[in-house]
Amino acid sequence: MASDRISVHRTLADYREDGCAKIQYPELPDTSVIICFHNEAMSVLLRTVHSVLNRSPDKLLTEIILVDDFSDQDHLKAPLEAYIARLPKVRLVRTEKREGLVRARLLGYSLAKGTVLTFLDSHCECSEGWLEPLLGPIAEDPQTVVAPIIDSILDKSMAYLKSGRSAAHIPIGVFDWNLVFHWGYLPEKDKKLRKDPLEPVKTPTIAGGLFSIDREYFTKIGTYDAGMDIWGGENIEMSFRVWLCGGRLLIAPCSRVGHIFRKTSPYNSIPGKNVFQKNSMRAAEVWLDEYKQYYYERFNYRLVDFGDVSERLALKKRLKCHPFEWYLNNIIPELYVPRDTTAGGEIINMKDGICLEITSRTVHGPVNTYTCHGQGGNQFWLLTTGHQIRRDDHCMRGNGNAVDVEPCAKNNTAQHWLYREDDTLFHIQSESCMDLQDRKPVLAKCSGNRSQKWMWKRRTQAANSVKESSFQQAI
């Protein structure tokens, strides 16, 4: 409704940083823009299309290919066809059944004529000067995938909110061992090495919805994994593949595209079909080598049937891609790799039988408890040889009587614990034990009470020695 009240041609401010507008690009390749959609709101879809038409140099835009992934809403049938009939560069194709975004994009790719392919979601707004910074690095080296900075369009008001990510706070895409993409920032030491703050930055992963890639390179590098359904995982798979097989992934700080973010993703609610896990498992099976154990351990999804990945493994061989360890050492050396752990899994209180958890990966706040759900995820903790109780980048800390999480810091003794033979979690600094009182973990004088005993799976030395030697070399 908010979108329907706003022009599909609305004006946007110029959100670029000073200096972006002055950059001179060499001869740039032309691009096909591929937008797939499933039941998108009409005005939102059309605003996406017009923002491309209105803000792309005519000679760089070959065509816009809309791929309808089996929508059932009426406005996307004859009314959409009638509307785009007036737009010579826009064409519409439809899948014959619900395919999901990977196979829908592949259908668009099979028809595209442009030198470069630019993929967009169906709820975007391209802002001033968005296209040239995406095409520039491809003109220099076609084995390059380039993503813009993604701004937020609020789903309630359609307000365009420029993200705080900028040349000063350069965003990069990263991931955790659950194989979920999230944003990070370029480490200070890498920032210092940059000569020009506006130049594109190497990123370990891309968010996946919005990027440009040379069409022939897309073919050569194995397009997408067509065995992935509906939504999710394809961006991580492509990120690993591009880096491991000789290409590079960049974020162009001068390209800004707005995207409507939803509160929740609707795709995993299909009963019995955990498509995201299936897709991620395919990525893990093909690219993670022995490191896939860290992914599988985080979740108990071994039982999902991920189908056949032999063709993707053959592609990996044909392209002579690096092993995953190369990516860890060279592309994302900051990522915590849980090699050095002595306990792992859920931490269950022996008196109440409930589990320690945190609500979200970014929260710096109290540790809570909840019924054990047995699926790992937010109840999955690791004990490191450095005495941290860790979840990705967050570690448990004794803070007065309270127990909370904060970013891990090796030498912060408030984060140091022992999991003792008597099943107590001993906080070294305060010489106290983690206790459960009113369903909350607290620090208390060690008493030997059952409320201070925690069940946590201990590891044998052998199980936790994956490539310890090469890890040593890397550091």
Q: Where on the chain is the footprint of ligand UDP (CB under 6 A)?
A: 36-38, 40, 69, 100-101, 104, 121-122, 209, 230-231, 262, 265
> Which CB, 37 or 454, lies closer to ligand UDP?
37
CB of 137 to Mn ion, least distance (A): 23
Question: By C-beta, is 44 or 408 nearer to ligand UDP?
Answer: 44
Enter the tokens of residue 189. 């030491």
Closer residue to ligand UDP, CB minimum distance, 28 or 210: 210
Residue with tokens 């194709």: 93
Q: Which stretch binds Mn ion (CB under 5 A): 120-128, 132-140, 156-164, 322-330?
A: 120-128
The answer to whether 147 and 183 are in contact (CB under 8 A) is: no
Please state the closest distance from residue 233 (CB atom) to ligand UDP, in A.
11
x/- track of binding to Mn ion for residues 208-227 (CB under 5 A): -x------------------
R_g of the chain, CA atoms, integer Å: 24
> Quick one: 71 or 378, whose CB is closer to ligand UDP?
71
Which of 259, 282 has the CB closer to Mn ion?
259
Q: How far is the CB of 209 from Mn ion (least distance, A)?
A: 5
Task: Look at residue 473 and give its three-state secondary structure.
Answer: helix
Residue nearer to Mn ion on the CB measure, 61 or 124? 124
Considering only 34-42, 118-126, 365-373, 399-407, which stretch makes contact with Mn ion by CB under 5 A?
118-126
* Paired sense of beta strands 248-260 and 144-153, if any: parallel
**CA 131/CA 112 separation, integer angstroms:** 17
Strand order in the sheet with 402-407: 341-345, 381-384, 389-391, 394-399, 402-407, 440-444, 432-437, 425-427, 417-419
Quick check: 274 and 240 in contact, CB under 8 A? no
**Cβ of residue 231: shortest distance to ligand UDP, in angstroms?**
5
Which of 166, 250, 269 has the alpha carbon at shortest distance from 212? 250
Task: Report the partner that residue 101 touches, choosing among ligand UDP, Mn ion, none (CB closer than 5 to 8 A by kind).
Answer: ligand UDP
Angle at 194 between CA 189 and CA 199, to 5 degrees: 135
Q: Which stretch binds Mn ion (CB under 5 A): 85-93, 102-110, 202-210, 236-244?
A: 202-210
Q: Which is nearer to ligand UDP, 60 or 275 (CB)?
A: 275
Residue 382: which of Mn ion, ligand UDP, none does it interact with, CB under 5 to 8 A by kind? none
Residue whose C-alpha is closest to residue 348's, from 397, 419, 443, 431: 419
DSSP-assigned letters across all residues of 43-55: HHHHHHHHHHHHH
Residue type for position 65 = I
- Verify binding: residue 151, Mn ion, rule CB under 5 A: no
# residues near Mn ion by CB under 5 A: 2
Residues near 350 by Cβ (< 8 Å), separated by ≥ 6? 423, 450, 451, 453, 454, 455
Q: Are 63 and 89 in contact (CB under 8 A)?
A: yes
Least Cβ distance, residue 256 to ligand UDP (angstroms)? 16
- Interacting partner of 357 out of Mn ion, ligand UDP, none (Cβ under 5 to 8 A depending on kind): none
Q: Quick one: tokens of 46?
A: 């059309």
Tell me how far, at minimum, the Cβ of 55 lies from Mn ion, in Å: 19
Positions of E strands within 408-457: 417-419, 425-427, 432-437, 440-444, 454-455
User: Which x/- pattern, by CB under 5 A, does the window 53-92 give for Mn ion?
Assistant: ----------------------------------------
In whole angstroms, how close is the CB of 119 to ligand UDP at the nearest point? Answer: 9
Shortest Cβ 91–Mn ion spacing (Å)? 21
121 touches Mn ion (CB under 5 A): yes
Task: Tell me the sheet residues that pair with 405.
Answer: 396
Coil, strand or helix at 356? strand
Going by C-alpha positions, the residue among 287, 14, 308, 410 that lies closest to residue 295 is 287
| In the complex, minimum distance from the CB of residue 8 to ligand UDP, in angstroms, rounded to a whole number | 17
Q: Which is nearer to ligand UDP, 120 or 395 (CB)?
A: 120
Min dist. Cβ of residue 259 to Mn ion (A): 6
**Which of the listed partners (ligand UDP, Mn ion, none) does 386 bind, with a CB threshold of 5 to 8 Å by partner kind?**
none
Helix and strand numbers, DSSP H then E, in the chain = 12, 25
Binding site for Mn ion (CB under 5 A): 121, 209
